[in-house]
Amino acid sequence: MTTPDDQPSVEWVWHISGKQAPQPPDTQPVWICGIERTETGSVRIRYLNAPAADGTEVAVKVYLATSGEYSDYRVRHAFTREEDAEAYKLGDDVLELEVHDGPVEVRYWYDLDWRADWGDRKAISGVQVANPHMDSELRDFDRDERNVQHTWSGRHLNVQGWDKQAVLKVYSEQRAKYLAAQADVT
């Protein structure tokens, strides 16, 4: 078995002569995600979730070849190498995902929109959207509770984040700055 000592790797290469390949040198469960014969006759076995040479866990990614849109959208195949997913002839696009060993925490992500030129208003079902307007959706939590982002596009403010109160605070601060700047102009 050869493993490079100077760089992290999730691959081990064995020369197999009719014997079963041994497991990589760790105690955590691993999955075989690819077997291929090299030019020298050795067999390359790729393991998911195998540790790097220095003992740290290596993030394992898969690449999904997808096709279609809306109702005909589908995942065609999953690949361990991005170039294989891109070369797949039936795929229109490639989506990169990280493989997780256990459950992934999900939380609500808040998205607030305010259009300065609309004026404040309440929503009227089927007629108009509220201004400001807030939506939320469940997403994979990135472990950064303080993650709040805001962007301006002309007179449109968008604020997003995990913490609803923090989103409202950033909206309030940005709105106040905008209105103060408008008062100075007039």
What's residue 103's pLDDT?
82
Give the Cα separation of 171 and 181 in Å (integer): 15
**pTM (two decimals):** 0.56
Looking at residue 12, what is its pLDDT? 43
The separation between CA 35 and the C-alpha centre of its own chain, rounded to angstroms, equals: 27
What local confidence, expressed as pLDDT, does residue 16 receive?
Answer: 40
3-state secondary structure 46-58: EEECCECCCCCEC
Q: Using 70 as the pLDDT threshold, list the residues of the chain that sit under it.
A: 1-59, 186
Residue pair 56/30 in contact by the 8 Å Cβ criterion: no
Under 8 Å between Cβ of 172 and 114: no
Report how far apart, in Å, the C-alpha atoms of 26 and of each of 1, 49, 119, 136, 154 are: 14, 10, 61, 41, 55
Q: What is the pLDDT of residue 4?
A: 39
- CA–CA distances in Å: residue 6 to residues 26, 40, 49, 50, 53: 18, 22, 19, 16, 8
Q: What is the pLDDT of residues 7-18, one digit of tens each?
A: 333 444 443 444
